[in-house]
Structure 1
């Protein structure tokens, strides 16, 4: 399923960001530019993280920004961004963040299968090596497709 909601156009490599907000904006911009979300959805991602804290840092070096569907999700999708250099998000256990997976979920249920598959993928050390070394989005998509097969 991941290869159905992630594509080369949603992957950004070696993004430079000033702070965690900039990292979220730049990583989610791929979703915006490809019609998966509206601009207010990105603002909602940031506002939610400000209100609730750095809960979006879900494991070591990984952030999963998202917002409520009604904030502007148009289609289920996941954008992937690698940060260079890594950025502090304020989660002492899992900072700095090197990988941002921006989620657009259109309702409370359709993304659950995708989240389950993403969680499995995030358990693969090889995946992080690919993210670190990839020079193109194709390399990451090839890994995801091979992993699914």
Structure 2
């Protein structure tokens, strides 16, 4: 479940980023600091986007950056980040991105239930409103835990 893979330390609000690369680095940094990923994981995300395009922009205003486990996923986790000013990733359909959910999956299955929970949240307008209005990470985690 989503609440099992995220916590207040993995939430960043109102990140300032000049471009999509900086947005990836800053949104993934809490996972790096928490020991969930290695720096090579962040680099793999960026390299993959440069090679294959903005496939991580999964719906309007939302990116789900991730890479293969062997590039440095230590533990499954999901970081939640909002951008102060949305940035473009090159997705004609879904840019600009304002919400980033950085995924670390250390195997092929442990994160699937959490992704299902996240997908359900992304269909709720009140979730985006809460993300926009949240003043602290604890508000976001409380919202998720009370679903």
Instruction: Report the TM-score range of the alignment, normalised by the length of the smaller protein.
Output: over 0.9
Q: CA deviation at 1:52?
A: 1.0
Equivalence map 1:112-127=2 (5 Å): 112-127=112-127
- TM-score (norm. length: structure 2): 0.98
Match of 2:36 in 1: 36
List runs of 5+ in structure 1 lacking aligned partners. Answer: none
Query: What SS is found at the alignment partner of 1:12?
Result: strand
Kept after mapping to 1: 8 A contact 2:121/2:127? yes
Query: Secondary structure of the equivalent of 1:100?
Result: strand
1:136 maps to what in 2?
A: 136
Q: Which residue number corresponds to residue 67 of structure 1?
A: 67
- 1:36-66 CA distance string (max 9 Å, x none): 0001000001111111100100000000000
Q: What are the within-5 Å matches in structure 2 for residues 27-106 of structure 1?
A: 27-106=27-106
The alignment's TM-score, normalised by the length of structure 1, stands at 0.97
Of 69-78 and 110-119, deviating more is 110-119
Q: Distance in 2 between matches of 1:11 and 1:27?
A: 8
Checking the alignment, whether the CA contact within 8 Å between 2:3 and 2:114 is kept in structure 1 is: no
Across the aligned residues of Structure 1 and Structure 2, the Cα RMSD in angstroms comes to 0.6
Partner of 2:2: 2
CA distance in 2, matches of 1:74, 1:93: 32
